[in-house]
Amino acid sequence: MAPRPVLDHTPREGVRTFTPRWRNSPLTDERMDTLLPGRALPDGPLVPAEAFGRQGPVVLEIGSGHGAAAIAYAAAHPEADVVAVDVHVPGIARMLAAADAAQVANLWVHPGDALPLLTERIGPGTLAAVHLFFPDPWPKTRHAKRRFVQQHTLTLIASRLAPGGVLRIATDIDAYAAHCRTQLEAHGGFDVVEGERPTWRPDDGFEAKGLRHGRSVSEFRCTLR
């Protein structure tokens, strides 16, 4: 008999979706000191007109890694403000340097966990889209509770999306794709279309690695009902 899916409607205490293990190099520290202040979100609740100096679509990318997708989206959509969130400081430092080199003015960076940001600082209906590209798959069944896509995170994201807002998910791990299908179907708050790869997203990082290893990429476009 197949194991019953994990359907967590509330967060489990002490369960994190990431493992904070890294060391900062002097270059990482220098980039964080010099480049982050100009792209950091102001403290407190996010008020887009005040934070970005304009009122337009706000897109949140969760687990932005080195920032290739976030930078590409920002360059292709100058009308939007992109907030890239990640816990991995060396990756954030690389993203800051790449964004500076690409001269994208509409990319903003938040070092930290996306869940407190969504829960405590981003208000209902603020976001036009949320992107979750190649999240940590936590492949072992006993670790399924650590996968980012859960009932409570889908409910939280749905509450922060504006009407008609979109959640995009991509993964090159079949087990994670199956997990997403189960969670999205059980949640029922989104209309889901599979297989649409956004043309603006570069073939970079985990996607390129997965393709080199013969894996296929599953794409989910989830529109808020």
Residue 113 is a catalytic residue:
no
Hunting for tokens 């997403």 — which residue is that? Answer: 180
CB atoms within 10 A of CB 19: 11
Q: Alpha-carbon distance 49 to 71, whole Å? A: 21
Hunting for tokens 């794709």 — which residue is that? Answer: 177
* Tokens at 39, concatenated: 């792209």
Given a contact cutoff of 8 angstroms between Cβ atoms, the answer to whether 67 and 84 are in contact is yes
Given a contact cutoff of 8 angstroms between Cβ atoms, the answer to whether 57 and 80 are in contact is yes
What is the dihedral angle through the alpha carbons of 65, 69, 72, 73, rounded to the nearest 10 degrees? Answer: -120
Among the options 8, 100, 136, 204, which is catalytic?
A: 136
CA-CA-CA-CA torsion sign (90, 93, 97, 103): positive
Q: Please report how the helices 89-102 and 68-76 are oriented relative to each other, as an axis angle in degrees rounded to 10.
A: 30
Helices (H), ranges, 18-88: 26-35, 48-52, 68-76
Residues acting as catalytic residues = 136
